[in-house]
Structure 1
Amino acid sequence: MQWLLNLPTVLWRRLLLVLQGVGALFALVGTGLGALFGKGGTLAGRLGAALTEPASQRRVFAVLRLFQPNLVLKRRIIAAYPSNGVTAIATRRADVADILSRDADFGVVYAPRMEMITGGENFFLGMQDTPRYTQDVSNMRLAVRRDDVPSIVVPCVAQAAGEIVGAVPGAIDVPQALTQPVAAHLLDHYFGTPGPSQAAIVEWTTLLFWYLFIDLKADPELDAKATAAAAEFRAWLDGHIASRRAGEGAKDDILGRCIAMGDAGLPGMSDLGIRNNLIGLLIGELPTLSAAANLALDELLGRPEAFAGACEAARMGDDAALAAHVFEALRFRPLNPVIYRRAMCDTVIAGGQFRRRRIRKDTMVLAANLSAMFDPLEIPDAASFRTDRPWEVYMLWGYGLHSCFGAYINHAVLPAMLKPLLAQPNLRRAPGSRGQIDTAGTPFPQHLHLEFDT
């Protein structure tokens, strides 16, 4: 009889799926008409800009969840990695989670570019579930310890962010003055890898993250820049490891722990292995922390009630409430709206369902984690901004075997990074375009000017 008791809930969620999809379709038609009759640039340019807005992305996924939850296109969308020229897009939460959990059927694709960056070796983010993957992840878990987060990582970030905000005269360019410097400071203080300069480590990690995960079209100009940056990064880090080993003495940071593990003869912890694993971690740390902090902040600024709640939580020292606001904002503006995998064999998505689709070997499969976080079949009140959601709702840093290695660091660092700024009185956007995110030709926020009362 339990199915009978659950029937009203199931029917209500199905109705919400329909209402969301139909409403989003009408909204997208309006967006298209606005682009058609708009001014400035070409129609294609205006339409492309409108459809890449976060709200438009969510509407596109809402339409797909209703009408084509597993869409298969005979089109190559990702040119940076080999495929058979077919792309599948999964939008229901159950299917997204299923794809990201079936590592034997849907594999990570990053190995060729990982190997370019390291000069020949893969990094565990680009590995399948192999003994080498288990070895490298286990080694780095011994060095990057979860109990470091409250004792080392959060105090480091909180102090650096507080000093920066306390020193600015009521106006700040958030990426340049706060989020990038704080993330770089964490690399220096906790990872033991400051780079030859802050500017260099920011440039290297940003370029290489862009090259690995965002350069879907295989831009030759970016390829050349990434190749040069990778060579510089390798050379500096090789020299830095040698210097630390030769004369700087033992330090309890990530690099120091890795060197000690290598000295103890732990497999996979040669200087080359240490360098390659650190390159992968550093690429994943600095750009993502800075970008995610700015996307969350921008989303909050566009929601006055939620923004006021986040500012009040920061001023009152309510870290749990502040974190809830930050991560709910990121649900609406995740850094990565899709996670891509390649089919390792002929297989199916949503087996046994009406939405079942056959997936041929080497098809590129886009698992839309943004869509999954708004699926009304599984997320209560999905369209609303709510700060009482359980952490399991969020798919902000992947899912399954290849979830972000530093997800628990991100979970603690992002609120701590933004807290001193959000606590400032009358925090607001600077006038005009300066108060909006400017990516400066990159995929990441590079400028966002805010003001506050001193």
Structure 2
Amino acid sequence: MGDYLSRIEAVPAVQRWGLVRDWIFTEPLPFFAEIRRERPVLVLPELTLAFRHADCMTILRRHHSFGVDLYKPKQGDYFMAQDDTAVHWREKSIMKSVLDREDIPAIRAWVGQATKAALDAGGGEIEAVRAITRGIPAGLVQRWFGFTDADPDRLIEWSYWNQQDAFWNQPFDAGFTRDPDGIVANRKRASLMLGLYLARLIARRTVAVKLGSDATDPVTRLLKLAFSDACRFDVKNVLFNIGGLLIGATETTSHTVTNALEYLLGNPDLLASARAAATLPDPALFDGHVDEALRFRPAFPYYFRTCHVPTVLAPETPHAVAVAPGTNVLAVSHSAMFDAAGFPDPEAFMPGRDQSDSFTYGQGIHACLGIAVAKVMVPEIVRQLVLREGLTAVSPPDYRGGRVPEAWQLRYR
């Protein structure tokens, strides 16, 4: 038995999740290597955790067997808190339609220009979280999603508290999260303020639509759809879904950009290779460096689901475990991306690697709604940063005791 498993079994069962959780965040790769080999499905009192690629795919792709029950108390009737329902099917389809993929090149160009302008304004030193990693996606929400008159600081705040509660304040986080009740209260307050803002925005856009507006932002297009009675999608649905655009875009982008850049800065040879790729005429040739950096340092090391149907994980192996309905499970996707069964030669940093089976943007019906936008916004922000000569971190990102970067001072020439 390996060192990690020995240490797990040496403590009372109620203390084991604390150990495992700490290793997931502080020494993931050696821990994952041992656990995939010796106990790829780990049963704890609070959770069952899966560490191999195939089992993580099973959990995330079989939405009838493993559902998003834990999102419901946080997100209510929003379609992402539902599995394969009519509402989910319809509203995700609508939202994909209004996020025109034809706009992706223009979005990338805007992100590049906005990031460059922020760095120019910094004059050689910048607090990157507010100005860049949160500031640029908040600006994108204003410019491309129709929140033109919004206060960017409020947009950031509303996204932050909703994501804090949904992703980092679950029952299995009890005892590890500071002031969980305070997070819930802040999420409710943020949601109320966001709702008030959106109600005013919708009222203004409704007048514009009635007067024949030819605007093409998602807010206007969703209102036109709602007023057309073409499908079961009314103004309340508009409010929920445009709020979801904001919440999903800002905080996740911040964490993802920070992780990718920090990993590159910590590996000078990779940074030099990424910088060389960043100077090429086709920016897409740079993107694989960010994809691989995020495989090594994902923003979310796991995804959580609740078992609905009796399921055997690691079937037909000596490690098979039967998971009963009602069990909360973690698909430890960071580990899965280092399983050679899914990623050949996983320890190698390979910018040209096929990322189809990656978990960076999720898998299954709950994969990132805005993946097409995210897959240009994230690498373009990182590209603009690595292009700056002499880019260094003054200190590591400041997490302020939580799980997301709150501040990060960078210097450059």
Aligned mate of 1:315, from 279, 282, 297:
279
Deviation at 1:125, TM superposition (A): 1.2
**Residues 131-146 of structure 1: matches in 2 within 5 Å?**
131-146=86-101
Matched, 1:190 2:165: no
How far the C-alpha of 1:377 sits from its partner, in A, is: 3.1
Which amino acid in 2 is paired with 1:145? D
CA–CA separation in structure 1 for the residues paired with 2:316 and 2:334: 24
Which residue does 1:51 correspond to in 2? 23
CA separation of 1:97 and 1:199: change in aligned 2, threshold 3 A: same
Q: CA deviation at 1:53?
A: 4.4
- Secondary structure of the 1:381 match is coil
Say which SS state the counterpart of residue 42 (structure 2) adopts. Answer: strand
Q: Return closer, same or farther for 1:206/1:436 CA change in 2, 3 Å cut-off.
A: same
Larger radius of gyration: 1
Pick from 61, 64, 68: which aligns with 1:101?
A: 61
8 A contact 2:301–2:332 mirrored in 1: yes
8 Å contact 1:187–1:282 — kept in the other structure? yes
1:180 counterpart = 2:180: no
Does the CA-based 8 Å contact 1:156-1:189 persist in structure 2?
no
Tell me what 1:156 maps to: 110
Which structure has more relative contact order (CA 8 Å, sep 6+)? It is 2
SS at match of 1:335: coil
Which runs of 5 or more residues in structure 2 are unaligned? 8-15, 175-179
Aligned sequence identity (%): 28
* Other structure's SS at 1:147 match: helix
Paired letter, 1:188? Q
**TM-score when scaled to structure 2?**
0.89
Q: 2:84 aligns with which of 124, 129, 134?
A: 129
1:68 counterpart letter in structure 2? R
Residue 343, structure 1, aligned to residue 307, structure 2: yes
Report how far residue 49 of structure 1 moved: 10
Q: TM-score, normalised by structure 1?
A: 0.82
In the TM superposition, residue 345 of structure 1 has moved relative to its aligned partner by 2.7
Number of residue pairs the alignment of both structures matches: 393
Q: Which amino acid aligns with 2:181?
A: P
Aligned position for 1:92: 52
Separation (CA, whole Å) in 2 of partners of 1:233 and 1:272: 14
The aligned amino acid for 2:400 is: A
**How far is the alpha carbon of 1:195 from its aligned partner?**
6.4
Distance 2:322 2:23 in 1: 28
How far apart in 2 are the matches of 1:299 and 1:242? Answer: 44
Contact 2:4 2:34 (C-alpha < 8 Å) held by counterparts: no
Alignment RMSD:
2.4
Q: How does 1:112-127 map to 2 (within 5 A)?
A: 112-115=73-76, 122-127=77-82
Q: Which structure 1 residue ranges, 5 or more long, are not aligned?
A: 1-20, 30-43, 77-86, 116-121
Judging changes above 3 Å, is the alpha-carbon distance between structure 1 residues 352 and 322 closer, same or farther for their aligned structure 2 residues? same
**CA distance in 1: counterparts of 2:148 and 2:49, whole angstroms:** 39
Residue 239 (str. 1) matches residue 218 (str. 2) = no
The secondary structure found in structure 1 opposite 2:306 is strand
Letter in 1 for 2:28: Q
* Alpha-carbon separation, structure 2, partners of 1:257 and 1:155: 23
Are 2:31 and 1:60 aligned? yes
The C-alpha deviation readout for 1:167-191, integer Å capped at 9, x for no partner, is: 2211122112112111111001111
Deviations 1:335-390 (A, max 9, x none): 11111110113222233332221111100011111111000233221112221211
1:304–1:137 distance in 2 versus 1, CA, 3 Å: same
In the alignment, the residues of structure 1 paired with residue 5 and residue 268 of structure 2 have an alpha-carbon distance, to the nearest angstrom, of 23
